Structure 1
Amino acid sequence: MNSVSGTLSAPDGTRLALRTTGSGAPLLCVPGGPADSAYLGDLGGLSAHRTLLIPDLRGTGRSAVPADPASYRCDRLVDDVEALRVHLGLEQIDLLGHSAGANVAVQYAARHPHRVSRLALVTPGMRALGIEITAEERLGLARLRAGEPWFAAAFAALEAINAGTGNDWEAVAPFRYGRWDEAARRHHAAGRLGPPEALARFGADGAFTPDATRAALTGLTAPVLLLAGAYDLNSPPRAVAACADFVADATFHVRPEAGHYPWLDDPAGFVATLTAFLGACRA
């Protein structure tokens, strides 16, 4: 996989790193976390069909730590996405957001609906839309994995986390993947979250205004893909499907036997779903 790295300056002067990989029409991919975007890889081979433009969010990966820590807030990261669009010289963008990055992508689409040609939300975080997920919903999905050899210890740790009596997040890692195999273990071990301040500030007061975001999305005419993993505790299929209530042109799709990283669990199926949604490459 050939990648080209570059940088640009955000509106406040923070240097942002951008990795470009693949061929075809551009697709701007907003990572979750906030985490080093390297975990996206080439999205299961999607780079064979699209040029993936993958930024490191400020303070993560190769991007600089901002002078103002308050700029880690989710809604303020929208300005960085717009700076990327301007830097790339694109009138409109096909935009993909994964996990927490979907909150940034949704708020970008709400603020700049005329700049978005297609929007793909992959196992999305949904705080920007105010969609709630209950502990019982997560536990119910977790029980689908009862036949796995690691299930007993992982489920006990998950119950303790939900009850507020434990915080062994490492023990519940297998639930994030459709298969807890060697590839999943390597992916999990390589994952690098951003600095604690970036994580804490991402969802600070004012980061999410669901009513305003929902109202603004009425101006979005671009097609929206809502892609869920059947086993994903972070973004349960029921909750992902509920996002369709707030956009005019939504397609909901569940990848069977996939978790939070469907391009790793089922790369061929993931790429087929994305390429079908994105349609013919534009020159």
Structure 2
Amino acid sequence: MPHYTSYDGTELAYRVLEARDGSAGPPLICLAGGPGRDAAYLGDLGGLNAHHTLVIPDSRGTGDSPPAVDPSGYAFPGLAEDLEALRRHLDLARFPLLAHDAAAATAQAYAAAHPEPLSRLILVCPGARLQGELPEDAREIFESRADEPWWQEAYTAVQLLPDTTDLAEMRGLLLQAAPMAYGRWEEPQRAHAESEGEQLGPVARAGFWQGVDEAGRRAVLARLREVPCPVLAVTGDRDAVTGMRAGELVAESFPGGQVRPLPRVGHYPWVDEPDLFRQAIEDFLTQHPTA
């Protein structure tokens, strides 16, 4: 895997999926969530590299990137500065950015600190913790699926996870709870879910939200009101992890924010409905062509 040197001299890894049609436009940089999860779970994002080169970095302490020397390196504002170092390494004047799940916080911190290089911003199934809200609709979506055969085991796992400190036990509970994160529980979803436990970096996960006080959070939100690029929040109507309302709140934080709700999908829309997801992203990129 190629590497780049970040702001503190750390060598961080990233992978490149070249556009299959040979397109030579600026790459789409894609950030993995978790937080603290190996970016391999993104795959090719439902074949999004058909017309776009994808650059997918491993954040500190995940994949092929080394752990942070200082715990602050795991916090999302620090990860945003890693992204800026990657942009400079790739010599990109402007580029589109896609972020999934918790990485939406990293992407928002980046947009607040470095708005000029962003040509557009895509936030897939984001949470609204940075907005200071925890909407209830994720729980409502979960409870609405109580008649599905996996539900009772998933419910039990959800209750036990917050108090679980043993890593092996946590991984087992994550797999038990996994069906709630998908639009349906079939072979592609099962295969994708089985990798989650081994891909999580507990230290990177624990450090992601650290070191950002209330004043810092509000400062980021205030700067988002001045971000000029178009912003798209993609949500899934079966996403029992972050729900749909969180995506709406995130989009409302930007002057150019819009929401694209997708039917029949959960927290990983490129796994549930790859064609639908890919078309939603392509529509947005076509509507706002690369500058």
Normalized against structure 2, the TM-score is what? Answer: 0.88
- The one-letter code sitting in structure 2 at the alignment partner of 1:142 is F
**What is aligned with 1:31?**
32
1:72 to 74, 78, 82: 74
CA contact (8 A) 1:14 1:65 kept: no
Q: Partner of 1:181 in structure 2? A: 186
Partner of 1:258 in structure 2?
265
Q: 2:7 aligns with which of 6, 11, 25?
A: 11
Q: In structure 1, what is the Cα distance between the partners aligned to 2:277 and 2:213? A: 30
Q: Aligned in 2, Cα 1:13/1:207: closer, same or farther, shift over 3 Å?
A: farther
Q: Superposition pairs for residues 82-97 of structure 1, below 5 Å? A: 82-97=84-99
Tell whether the 8 Å contact from 2:175 to 2:194 is kept in structure 1 after alignment. Answer: no
Structure 2 partner of 1:98: 100
The number of residue pairs the alignment matches comes to: 276
Q: How far did 1:19 drift?
A: 0.5
Q: How does 1:101-116 map to 2 (within 5 A)?
A: 101-116=103-118
Residues 98, 122 of structure 2: 8 Å contact kept: yes
% identical aligned pairs: 39
Assess if the C-alpha contact under 8 Å between 1:30 and 1:97 holds in 2: yes
RMSD: 2.2
State the Cα distance separating 1:37 from its structure 2 match. 0.5
Task: Please say if 1:45 is aligned against 2:52.
Answer: no
Partner of 1:118, secondary structure, is strand
Name the counterpart of 1:132: 134
Structure 1: gaps of 5 or more residues? none
Residue from 245, 250, 256 that aligns with 1:238: 245
What amino acid sits opposite 1:181 in the alignment? E
Report Cα offsets for 1:26-46 as digits up to 9, x if no partner: 101011121110000000010
Other-structure match for 1:278? 285
Q: Secondary structure at the match of 2:16?
A: strand
Q: Which runs of 5+ in 2 are unaligned?
A: none
Any conservation in 2 of the 1:16–1:56 contact (CA below 8 Å)?
yes
Query: Secondary structure at 1:129's aligned position in 2?
Result: coil
Alignment correspondent of 2:201:
195
What is the CA distance between 1:204 and its match in structure 2? 1.1
String of CA shifts for 1:197-217, please: whole Å, max 9, x gaps.
Answer: 211111113277331111101
**Deviation for aligned residue 1:240:** 1.1
Aligned to 1:141: 141
The answer to which of 194-203 and 81-90 deviates more is 194-203
8 Å Cα contact 2:111/2:224 also seen in 1: yes
